[in-house]
Amino acid sequence: MKKNIVLFVLFILPIVAYLFFASGVNGFTKLPVITPKIPDFGKWESLNGEKVSLDNKITILGFAGEDVLKHRGNLFNLNEKIYQRYHTFKDLQFVMICPLGTEGDIRKIMDALDEFTDVSQWHFVFTTPDQINAYYDQLKLVGELNKDSGTSDVYIVDKDRSLRGRKEKKGYKEGYDTFHPADLSNEMLDDFKVILYEYRAALKKNHNATKQL
């Protein structure tokens, strides 16, 4: 009996565990849509005068708030845990919506990041607090912005401008808290990999279809 138990633990249990986790990964190949077709930014001003749009980009979207310099650690956490790993992916961008008047603070933060990071995929757009709050309302989220028109959460938006999130027992995980590095390293990183897997699988499928033609 003891011999059989030892054999089960050594050989059968690992196989069962592998099949369990493999089926879980394969079944979780889509990140649910929370809000489809969220608005684009229109003609909002950007930090460097470039056109910033959500179209045809996987976007990590955030709301910096008026007190961005005080909470700059949140951006540094996001930069370290997610941005530095994936910023070379050409269809990815990190966009922060900021109140007008915070341009100088953002430049200070970007100068600090630029010392050890290629910041080319960081983008900042500026508008009034009223417009920021109105835009956030259109995301149709349970969470709210704080009194400074900001939040420590960031959101995943796909190339079709649909806001995506993780299905949970009590609804959806809408955003990922940049104040807590563990939230970025664990749940956000996992969900972001799902989005990348979706697009890579789609590209592979389209490539195979083209080859068949």
CA distance 133 to 136: 5
Which CATH code, of 3.40.30.10, 3.40.50.150, 1.10.10.10, 3.40.1800.10, is assigned to 33-212? Answer: 3.40.30.10
CA distance 187 to 176: 8
Other C-beta atoms within 10 Å of 199: how many? 15
The DSSP output letter for 31 is P
* Domains of the chain by residue range: 33-212
**What is the chain's pLDDT, residue by residue, as a tens digit (213 residues)?**
655 565 555 556 555 444 444 434 434 468 999 999 999 999 898 998 999 999 999 999 999 999 999 999 999 999 999 999 999 998 999 999 999 999 999 999 999 999 999 999 999 999 999 999 999 999 999 999 999 999 999 999 999 999 999 888 778 899 999 999 999 999 999 999 999 888 888 777 665 543 443
